[in-house]
Every structure is written in C-alpha cells, then in structure tokens.
Amino acid sequence: AKGVFKQPYGSKGKDFGNFNNPTGIAVDKYGVIWVVDQKNNRIQKIDKRGNFIDTFGSKGSGQGQFLKASNIIVTDEGRIYLCDTNNNRIQILKSAAEPAAKTRKKAGPPMQINFVSQIDSQSVDVAVDKQGILFSASDKNNNFQMFDQKGKLKKMFGEKGRDNGQFSSPQGIAVDNEK
C-alpha cells in the first residue's frame, strides 16, 4: 500500500509542540498520537486533527521522569508502557482521563498520569499481547525478555552473535495477537 503524506507535526525545539529527537510513537483507541520526545525528556500528545493537546514528563530518574526514553505503547485500557532506556527500566503508567477535548497552544499544567510500577530492564522497545504479557528488546544485552502481568521476568532469550537465537543490538519487537 502507498502512503499519502498528510501534514508534518511540530518542528525542532524545546517549546510545547516542538520535538528534539522523537523516537517512539503510539496511537491510542481514541486516535490520539503519543510521541516520545527523547532529548526533551517528555511525551507529547497530538489529536486526530494534528493539534498538540498535552505533554508530560521531565528529565530525571523519579516516577514520570525519563532519561533517553525510546519507545511507548498505550493499551486500550489506558496503560502506558514506556522504555526509559538510560534509567534501565520500563515505566508502567496510567492515564487518569480520556483525551483532552480542548486544544492547547502552549504548555500548561501537565495531564494527570499516575505511576503504576516499573520493571528493571535495559530495553529499547516493548510490546504487550492480549493477555497482558510484556515483551521487551534489549540492545545492551542483545536479548529479548518476557514479563508476566505483575512485571516478573518469566523468560529471556538470545545472546550476542550471528547464529540462530543470537542478536546484535536488537532495536524492536512486535507481538502477533492473531494466534
């Protein structure tokens, strides 16, 4: 299928609605676009029409703070899985409300995001299956990890190399929910 360019979102910068190295993107069940704005250490939300509606996060290692976040997933239940790469964790957050109906032109009070938990992992990408099992790709460890719904590590597979079951800095993972 051919894609059709519709419109650009933002430009380079630090201000609300600008990006500095966007690295991850997710679309929630409302059609809202969530973008990891890596070097600004935040997440920005964009509505279906391309309007910037919200932002959250800051630089640091506390709850809801990031150091080189790399990817994001937003589930239909409103859970947010964020690879907080340089903090060596996956943050699990929950949006406190449905998407804002009002478009904002500048940054204001951040949206309410509740910290749920975190999983210690050097991950650059995550995927979640229908049962809530979390899978992650670790470029530093050259492997993939599987966690249960409570965040307990269930399985790791892979090692550095070029043979079957070996990887060199994996950057992504996806789950087939059809099977």
Q: What is the rounded average pLDDT of the residues 96-116?
A: 50
pLDDT tens for 9-56 read 888 989 888 999 999 999 999 999 999 999 999 999 998 888 998 888
pLDDT of residue 72: 93
Phi/psi at 165 (5° precision): 80, 5
The strand pair at 89-95 and 113-120 is best described as antiparallel
The percentage of residues in the chain with a pLDDT greater than 90, rounded to a whole number, is 23
CB 54 within 8 A of CB 47: no
Between the alpha carbon of residue 53 and those of residues 8, 14, 96, 148, the distances in Å are: 16, 16, 15, 33
Amino acid identity of residue 176, one-letter, is D
Q: What is the rounded average pLDDT of the residues 147-158?
A: 85
Minimum mean pLDDT range among 20-24, 93-97, 110-114: 110-114
pLDDT tens for 142-151 read 888 888 888 8
Residues shown for the chain: 179
User: How many Cα atoms occupy the beta-carbon half-sphere of 115 within 13 Å?
Assistant: 12
Instruction: Please report which confidence band the pLDDT of residue 96 belongs to, taking 50, 70 and 90 as the band edges.
Output: low
pLDDT of residue 116: 63
The strand pair at 166-167 and 153-157 is best described as unpaired
Question: What is the pTM for the complete model shown?
Answer: 0.78
Q: Is the pLDDT of residue 93 over 80?
A: yes
**Of the candidates 54, 56, 29, 27, which has an alpha carbon nearest to the alpha carbon of residue 40?**
56
Q: Is the pLDDT of residue 92 over 70?
A: yes
Q: Is the pLDDT of residue 80 over 60?
A: yes
Mean pLDDT of the residues in the chain: 82
Instruction: Please report which confidence band the pLDDT of residue 159 belongs to, taking 50, 70 and 90 as the band edges.
Output: confident
Tokens of 122: 């050097």
